[in-house]
Amino acid sequence: MYKVIVVEDELTNSLLLKRLLTKAGYQVIVAHNGADALKHIEKEHFDVILTDWMMPQVDGIELIRRVRENIKPLPYIIMVTALVSESAKMYALESGADDYIAKPIDIDELLSRVKDGIKKQEQAEIQPKIITEKIQVDVIPPFVACAIATSTGGPPTLIQFFKDIDISTPAAFFIVQHGPSWMLETFAQRLQRDTQLKVNIAEKGMKIETGNIYIAPGDYHLKINSEDLTIKLDNGPKENFVRPAADPLFRSAAKTFGKYLVATILTGLGKDGTQGASFVKQVGGVVFVQDPDTAVAPSMPRNAIESGYADKILPLQDLGIAIQNELINLDKVLKKAIK
């Protein structure tokens, strides 16, 4: 039976959540503030933490930070709060929450998020299946590209990453950051303040150009139309329990850019990007992976490494410059091939 700890200082809310989760088949413990929760979490493992934000002694943000710093294996963390401004939501996710649910709670949505979160946790411990599909491409695209996968802890990681990418870098960048529409739109606006590259929420039919960042929109897989280098969006089934997922992007980018593609797997929960990395390797592309020790959530980069798909493993502070140099070198090779 999966174990959930509800951290909520309002008695009525905590009892309601306990009753609903217990009815759904979970073993539930209630803590009335972050300090109380830490005592439980340090003694026994929980699969999920549902925590309020504003609480006495230790609030939800501080609880999340302490759990991420000190608890192994990490539970799936959902912030449940009445603070619903976009800045508050982003702050909670940047502090290490895996998900964010606003009060009043939609119980069906909550149960769905808890279920998917547990599946992602379990997926992180499972070795990826051997890829049976084989692809071979020999393409000469008009420019080089970088496809990036990230999840928990992604926004601040991406901001630091792109600070080291110069606007003159001759490449297009594609990002799958797991999250809902509001989060991705807010993140895009914030990233634009920290980079000279043009930041776009990807739209169907959008022309792909160098000097641009294309972020997968909420609830759509981001793919590339290789025939005319435009954006394709797909609201088909979730992959790795998420939509958008990185694997569809990586597969599509591998077929479009071939050996002129750099794939990058950053912080995140689960194993999204690992299967897609196998396609990138098949076509001769390069796979960079963030050192898990520098990741807020290490399982996505760790899975790629353990599966043998990582060409280069670097700490976050070194990734941006290294990938920029790789893209510049690939661009030189591509220009010779075009001639």
The DSSP call for residue 129 is P
C-alpha 110 chain-centroid distance: 20
Query: What does 176-211 look like in DSSP terms, one character per residue?
Result: EE-S-HHHHHHHHHHHHHH-SSEEEE--TTPBP-TT
Query: What does 35-104 look like in DSSP terms, one character per residue?
Result: HHHHHHHHHS--SEEEE-SS-SSS-HHHHHHHHHHH-SSPPEEEEEES---HHHHHHHHHTT-SEEEESS
Q: Which two tokens stand for residue 180?
A: 């809902």
C-alpha 190 chain-centroid distance: 17
Active site residues: 151, 178, 272
CA distances to 13, 176, 276 from 315, in Å: 41, 20, 21
Angstrom distance (rounded) from CA 68 to CA 32: 20
Say if strands 286-290 and 312-314 run parallel, antiparallel, or are unpaired: parallel
On the CB side of 186, CA atoms within 13 Å amount to 16
**H or E element, residue 31:** strand 27-31
The burial class, CB within 10 Å (0-12 / 13-18 / 19+), for 87 is: exposed
